[in-house]
A and B are shown apart, each in its own frame.
Chain A
Amino acid sequence: MKFIKWLTNIDRRIIFLLMIGAVLVPMLFTIPVPFEVGEPVQNAFNAIDSLKPGSVIMLSVDYDATSYPECQPMIVAITDHAFRKDLRIILLGHIPTGLPLGQEALERAATEYNQSHKAEYRQAVKHAGEELKRHTAGYQGSLKSAAAEFDQEYTPRHQETLDGLVSDYLEKVDSAAVKFQKHTFEYWEAVKYAGEEFNRHASEYQKRLEGGVREKNPGYVRILERAAAEYDKHVTEYQEDLGHAADQYLKRYGIDFVNLGYRPGVVAIIVGMGREIRDFYRKDYQNINVDSLHMMADVHNYDDIATLVSFAHGTAVESWIAYAGARFGQQIIGGVTGVVAPDLYPYLQSGQLAGLLGGLKGASEYESLIKKKGLASRGMPAQSTAHILVILLIVIGSMAEFALDISKRRET
């Protein structure tokens, strides 16, 4: 009986300990949990999955750190999905303290994408390097044969030409390296490699030339120059190949994603962007001019944006729907906390929202659709065990009270 009495009044500290266990254990031992994906999330996924590569999507960070557990997995999953589909991302937000979180998600997605495509990128770069090597050999070959044909003497003029070509080449390579920024550390390696190779070939050739080639015939000079021009072309091709490899296998800031930062004034901005984004965002979050960002060249207003996703823990999604959706026909997807989600169901039903991710459950459903388990999927079993614990506590408490009540009445 004392036990039953104790059950009606369990010390809250024991309850807290049980709760810690209920949340930690499933997170430490990841339990695969099958569940069905709801329609709102499926619609959101389809909306993004059906976009053509190169389409632009806009992500709006309208939550802050307090909603990190629910909203961050959503933005992480969607940026992953977007990069996978080769979509271009514009990030902005109406809550200044939430933007660092959005930036974090974007950088992380880009880094992961680059890491996972590192092998292919390296392969493409190596291939481009081999092409260049082949052409280098060809250049050397034609110089050698010309020298042999004209039985020329080696003069300082040849030295100048060769030097000129070498420094020219290195200059081009350097400028290309500056163009591709920090995400392409492999590029530096490749460039270094190509440069070393060229130097090696050039110095070998120099030595051979020194061994007795004389200039006697202007035709020889012409051949030299023509071969040099050929080589120039191959160097340019090499750089283009590197560029294409980067385009294909790397996600770089300014080219595949931009962060426009925070501007105050929610409704004014949402409405104003229907005309021209640059009216409000002339510089990005690092104060770089928006027009110098490659990606923004053909993006001016909602007509150029395929889909907009608003991650919110308040009423931001309704603002987007009312001003961007209703007035400019912009397609909107919502990614909101569990508390706010029910308020948005009417918009789903009326078609004003193309999809909705609600709470941790919505985030984990999306993660299962993109087949990449993240924080949300790890958290869902924990959410379930916590729920089950609360249900058990309530039931035990009630039943113990029944027993107590009956025994009390029996005594009287």
Chain B
Amino acid sequence: MVLACLLSVIFTQPVATMQAEAIQTVALRPVANLDATDTPNDAGQSIDISWELSPDSARIRRYEVYRAESTEGPFEKIVEFLIPTTSYTDADTLLRNKKDYYYRVDVVGKLESRASSKIAGPAIAKPQWFNRNRLAVLVFALIYGGLVILYIEFAKRDRGMFVRRIAGLDAIDEAVGRSTEMGKPILFSFGIGYLTDVATLAALSILRRVAKRAAQYETRILVPNYDPIVMTAAQETVKQAFSEAGRPDLYRESDITFLTADQFGYAAGVDGIMLREKPGTVFLQGVFYAEALILAETAHSVGAIQIAGTNMATQLPFFIAACDYTLIGEELFAASAYLDRDPQLLGSLKSEDMAKIITVAIIAVVSIVGTVGAILASVSGKNEILLSIGEFVNDLFETLKGFLTTS
């Protein structure tokens, strides 16, 4: 009995101490391999920090990231995470001052026990001169630019460069003639594009041709507009065309007006003009959205023939269904080259085709590589050769994909 009491006294104390030591000795292990580097391809105000999780992740309550200007500190906490994380991008505007910075990641567990990682650094946030992610774009731009210049040279030498027939453009003269015979005006609409849209610019060159013919045949031409700048460009173009045709007296500025900058308001306005003036020919060239079909159908209902052209893929089906002639996408861009037959413009047209061929070839090659890789991956089974071929092909595909996609 006494011995039991003695023993209990002897053993209670040390056990308590042992327990206390147990809490202290099994310390948290910090995160490992802390790395701090400048973020690439940016304007120079961020540093990427990464690390590997501590083996004691389960016991860790939070991660704290500290930053200082020297290894001695003082370190200030810049962010903390409550879930296991392995990286952080420090994008503080402070980093623009091109100083060295040092980083440390602390893990904090129960009872605020803490373990610090080794300090990483120095790291400076540097701006880069070239965004490597966009390398593919640069390569392609240079190739394309080179092609354009090359083919322009070819075209200057070869006068009779072949361009296939584009029905919509061939029909312009005939359409203007038809209007003249019926004694009705011509209506030309740019849709709801701005002068910054290339489709509107392409449409301007068609307008010039149409206006010239209209002047020659003494037919009136109406151009209602959605955008004031396009309106002024149209006024200039038509006035110029009428002068070139030798009939500047026929030019009426009041026929080229601004309607409104609202989509459906514009459509309603143009519809009204079509129903009142009953044009014999309607040109719908440029950028169109939902109002495309409204304009086309109303034109048909007044008995006009319509020549449409747009690069808006969503409206092409409506134009093709409703209009007599449609210029699809780049046929519209080809207008100025086609109508003027200027060698420089024709040359750039050819280069477009060549670039298209190259693009299709790249797509085909990469798709085939990817497909073959996927098939091999699922079929190879235990065959060593097939496995390694499959791996190589998949790696090739990933590399190509990585190169071709940009951010």
A interface residues (Cβ-Cβ under 8 A, vs B): 12, 66, 339
Contacts and interface: CB of A to CB of B under 8 A. Distances in A.
B131 interface: no
Nearest to B264: A66
A25 to B, nearest CB: 24
Interface in B280-294: 290
Contacts of A12: 301
B298 to A, nearest CB: 11
A395 to B, nearest CB: 16
A286 B55 CA distance: 53
Contacts of B263: 66
B301 A339 contact: no
A339 B264 contact: no
Interface string B292-314: 00000000010000000000001
A339 B263 CA distance: 17
B314 to A, nearest CB: 7
Contacts of B290: 66
Contacts of B301: 12
A139 to B, nearest CB: 52
A339 B314 CA distance: 9
Nearest to A13: B301
Interface in B306-337: 314
Contacts of A339: 314
5 contacts: A12-B301, A66-B263, A66-B264, A66-B290, A339-B314
Contacts of B314: 339
Interface string B258-289: 00000110000000000000000000000000
B46 to A, nearest CB: 14
Contacts of A66: 263-264, 290
Nearest to A65: B264
A339 B292 CA distance: 15
Contacts of B264: 66
Nearest to A339: B314
A94 to B, nearest CB: 18
A357 B301 CA distance: 36
Closest 3 CB pairs of A and B: A12-B301, A339-B314, A66-B264
B294 to A, nearest CB: 13
A12 B322 CA distance: 13
A229 to B, nearest CB: 46
Interface in B214-264: 263-264
Nearest to B314: A339
A339 B293 CA distance: 15
Nearest to B263: A66
A298 B264 CA distance: 43
B336 to A, nearest CB: 30
A339 B301 CA distance: 26
Nearest to B301: A12
Interface in B51-75: none
A12 B300 CA distance: 11
A13 to B, nearest CB: 10
A12 B264 CA distance: 22
Nearest to A12: B301
B226 to A, nearest CB: 16
Nearest to B290: A66
A154 to B, nearest CB: 66
A348 to B, nearest CB: 21
B394 to A, nearest CB: 19
A12 B314 CA distance: 24
A12 B263 CA distance: 25
A339 B290 CA distance: 11
B332 to A, nearest CB: 22
A12 B297 CA distance: 10
A66 B314 CA distance: 17
B59 to A, nearest CB: 24
B365 to A, nearest CB: 23
Interface string B364-375: 000000000000
B265 to A, nearest CB: 12
B171 to A, nearest CB: 23
A211 B60 CA distance: 76
B313 to A, nearest CB: 12
A12 B299 CA distance: 13
A250 B301 CA distance: 55
Nearest to B297: A12
A285 to B, nearest CB: 24
B72 to A, nearest CB: 31
A99 B9 CA distance: 77
A29 B368 CA distance: 55
B366 to A, nearest CB: 18
A297 to B, nearest CB: 21
A339 B315 CA distance: 11
A66 B290 CA distance: 10
A206 to B, nearest CB: 62
B311 to A, nearest CB: 17
Nearest to A340: B314
